């Protein structure tokens, strides 16, 4: 009997899930079949911020809990920070490039965009950071899969789009990037570029097989970034950014060090709090929590519009 892997139906989701399926089949020696599941986020054209947290994962989790599938593959940044009853993240594979990227007409970079250029993106985090750059561009909120977004540039509807580079790499379209955006100007979403492989806690054999796909430094980075997000009590659609980088020192210091940057922005980008913190991999979650507390002390709630 084959292992049933639940996935969203977009080209990128299927590609990511196929990568996991192939790796799991090699690790376990069992056949793995993909089961496509439609989510509320896939069916709606409303802005992600209006749909709420977990809009791309709830249907997959429901199917997993109902034993209609055996595991699910998510883009980790889409997951709510609260755990789901009866489910566990069994593996976080090696992270793809977490940075954002610009795909623009005529090979242009952001700095080269003419006044009035139309740049499309869907995430309020990206919108806020684009505003904060003070460029004379028009920012256009958009929805849709990667192919849909890139077609808006090819057709001339937009002058460029900002998307996650990880998705372009996995789709084999990284050569279309005209500028990789430095995290100093466009800090990524927490867990961007990371996949979360989830199964039921009552399936220990599958959990053990999936552990072969886990990458410990990636898991530590995600723990720090999501602890930051959870402590701020901000959802995946809030203008909050975070990126943890791992420095492994080899045999002299096998634990390594984690360097976490976090940012909280007002939606219009006029106010931006940016702080950083370091710590050990073993204390990754603590590093994220403490950085969030520093951001809160600096006024993050006010920036996010939260009433105290």
Q: Is 151 helix (H, G, I), strand (E, B) or coil?
A: helix
Q: What's the pLDDT band for 51 if we cut at 50, 70, 90?
A: very low
- Residues facing 264 on adjacent strands: 240, 273
Look at the domain 220-303 and name its fold: Double Stranded RNA Binding Domain (3.30.160)
User: Poorest-confidence range of 23-32, 152-161, 226-235, 291-300?
Assistant: 226-235
- Classify 92 in phi/psi space as left (phi over 0), alpha (psi -120 to 50) or beta: beta
The mean-pLDDT minimum among 187-196, 263-272, 285-294 falls in 263-272
pLDDT band with cut points at 50, 70 and 90 for residue 43? very low
| pLDDT reading at 248 higher than 90 | no
Region 276-305: mean pLDDT is 93
- Distance between CA atoms of residues 236 and 33, nearest Å: 29
pTM strictly above 0.85: yes
Q: 177, 101 in Cβ contact below 8 A?
A: yes
pLDDT band at 67 (very low <50, low <70, confident <90, very high): very high
What's the mean pLDDT in 27-48? 74
Domain 3-93+194-214 classification at class level:
alpha beta
Q: Are the C-beta atoms of 128 and 267 separated by less than 8 Å?
A: yes
DSSP 77: G
CATH 3.40.190.10 corresponds to the domain 100-180: yes
Catalytic machinery residues: 78
Domain map of the chain by residue range?
3-93+194-214, 100-180, 220-303
Query: In sequence order, what are the residues at sequence separation of 6 or more whose Cβ sits closer than 8 angstroms to the Cβ of residue 214?
Result: 90, 91, 92, 93
Contacts of 259 (CB under 8 A, 6+ apart): 244, 245, 246, 247, 276, 277, 278
Rounded to whole angstroms, the Cα distance separating 287 from 11 reads 35
Q: How far apart are CA 304 and CA 134, in angstroms?
A: 20
Pair 101, 163: CB distance under 8 Å: yes
Instruction: Tell me whether the CATH fold assigned to 3-93+194-214 matches the one assigned to 100-180.
Output: yes
Mean pLDDT value of segment 273-296: 95
Listed range (90-94, 139-143, 190-194) with the worst mean pLDDT: 139-143
Residue 229 has pLDDT above 60, yes or no: yes
Question: Where does the chain have alpha helices with state H?
Answer: 11-28, 40-43, 48-51, 58-65, 124-132, 146-154, 165-170, 204-210, 216-231, 284-297, 300-304
Strands 240-247 and 257-265, by their bridges, are: antiparallel
């Amino acid at each position: 009997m084959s292992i049933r892997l639940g996935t969203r139906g977009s080209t990128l989701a299927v590609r990511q899930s196929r990568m996991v399926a192939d790796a799991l089949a090699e690790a376990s020696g069992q056949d793995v079949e993909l089961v496509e599941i439609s989510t509320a986020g896939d069916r709606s054209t409303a802005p992600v911020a209006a749909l709420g947290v977990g809009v791309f994962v709830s249907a997959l989790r429901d199917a997993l809990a109902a034993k209609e599938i055996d595991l699910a593959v998510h883009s980790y940044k889409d997951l709510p920070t609260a755990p789901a009853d009866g489910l566990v993240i069994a593996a976080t594979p090696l992270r793809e490039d977490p940075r954002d990227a610009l795909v623009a007409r005529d090979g242009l970079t952001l700095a080269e965009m003419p006044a009035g250029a139309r740049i499309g993106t869907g995430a309020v985090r990206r919108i806020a950071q684009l505003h904060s750059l003070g460029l004379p561009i028009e920012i256009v909120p958009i929805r849709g899969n990667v192919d849909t977004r890139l077609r808006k540039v090819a057709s001339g509807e937009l002058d460029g789009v900002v998307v996650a580079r990880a998705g372009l790499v996995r789709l084999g379209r990284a050569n279309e990037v005209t500028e990789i955006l430095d995290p100093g100007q466009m800090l990524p979403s927490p867990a961007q570029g990371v996949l979360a492989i989830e199964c039921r806690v009552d399936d220990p054999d599958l959990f053990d097989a999936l552990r072969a796909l886990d990458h410990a430094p990636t898991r530590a980075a995600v723990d720090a970034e999501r602890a930051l997000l959870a402590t701020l009590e901000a959802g995946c659609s809030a203008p909050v950014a975070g990126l943890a980088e791992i420095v492994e020192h080899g045999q002299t210091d096998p634990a390594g060090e984690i360097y976490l940057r976090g940012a909280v922005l007002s939606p219009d980008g006029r106010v931006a709090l940016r702080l950083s913190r370091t710590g050990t991999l073993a204390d990754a979650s603590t590093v994220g929590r403490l950085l969030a507390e520093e951001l809160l002390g600096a006024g993050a709630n006010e920036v996010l519009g939260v009433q105290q």
